[in-house]
Amino acid sequence: MESLIKTENFSYAYDQQTPVLDNISLNVHKGESIGLIGPNGAGKTTLFLCLMGLVPYIGEGLEVAGLKMQSKKNHTMIRRRMGMVFQHTDDQLFNSTVFDDVAFGLLNMGLKKDEVIKKTRKALLLVGLEGFEEKVPFHLSGGQKRRVCLAGVIAMEPEILLLDEPTSDLDPRGKLKIINILNNLDSTYIISSHDLEFVLKTCKRVIMMDNGKIIADGPAVDIMSDENFMVSHGLEKPHSLMPHIIKHHHDHTPDIHS
């Protein structure tokens, strides 16, 4: 299988002293759906920022789509093959209309106007926001904003999609819409989330992080079914994986003695 992300003993520290990521080794293959889980401060968002080349310095040991991240000349090419939806949607929306926000990345890629229009409309259709082209993004609901951000990334047709806490401002209906969108995508994606039920519904593989290290990497159900392991790393076992004890109540007709 084609490896899209490869790290070997990769570490990162914001102050060049205390590592936020500590000897991270992993392979992400084309077509995979991966949940990145762990307690607050585990290093999940920092790993995303490193993969996107959005932190000041990247050392050795990190490749994206066969390109070494330590070479700054590769950053632009890497970002064209990878898209990220940030946790806070207002950090990603800044144009006056939904159409302009979704089209922004395509215009920066230098595509012709008719191609931009075509890809923008296709992305809006995919996320269920056709007809929203002229609406003001900041007047939308949290779930609609999330889908606009997702459409803007999808429109650029990245090979790899990173989503940071994609359900943080969604109600159950909004979550279901995002689940359906992701489960019908061709892209490889990694989801960083504390919403473990959402991860179960969208990811076949899970990577558990804690204190900047990868603690476990394997099938989502196998890792998240281990209640003791989950609790030891500050997480709860998803409710849907809890054993349900069904008590059968039998009606007993009392003996009647005359």
User: What does the pLDDT read at residue 65?
Assistant: 87
Which strand (E) or helix (H) includes residue 219?
strand 213-219
The topology (CATH level 3) of 3-94+158-241 is: Rossmann fold (3.40.50)
Counting every residue, how long is the chain? Answer: 258
* Per-residue pLDDT reduced to its tens digit, 52-89: 988 887 778 999 988 898 888 888 888 888 999 998 88
Q: Which residues fall within 8 angstroms of residue 43, CB to CB, at 6 or more apart? A: 20, 21, 22, 209, 211, 212, 213
Domain boundaries, the chain: 3-94+158-241
Give the Cα separation of 203 and 207 in Å (integer): 10
DSSP string, 120-184: HHHHHHHTT-TT-TTS-GGGS-HHHHHHHHHHHHHTT--SEEEEESTTTT--HHHHHHHHHHHHT
CA angle (252, 254, 258) in 5-degree steps: 160
pLDDT computed for residue 244 by the predictor = 62
What is the pLDDT tens value at each position of the chain, 258 positions in all?
688 999 999 999 988 778 899 999 999 999 999 999 999 999 999 999 999 988 887 778 999 988 898 888 888 888 888 999 998 888 888 889 999 999 999 998 899 999 999 999 999 999 999 999 999 998 999 889 999 999 999 999 999 999 999 998 788 888 898 999 999 888 899 999 999 999 999 999 999 999 999 999 999 999 999 999 999 999 999 999 987 643 444 444 444 443
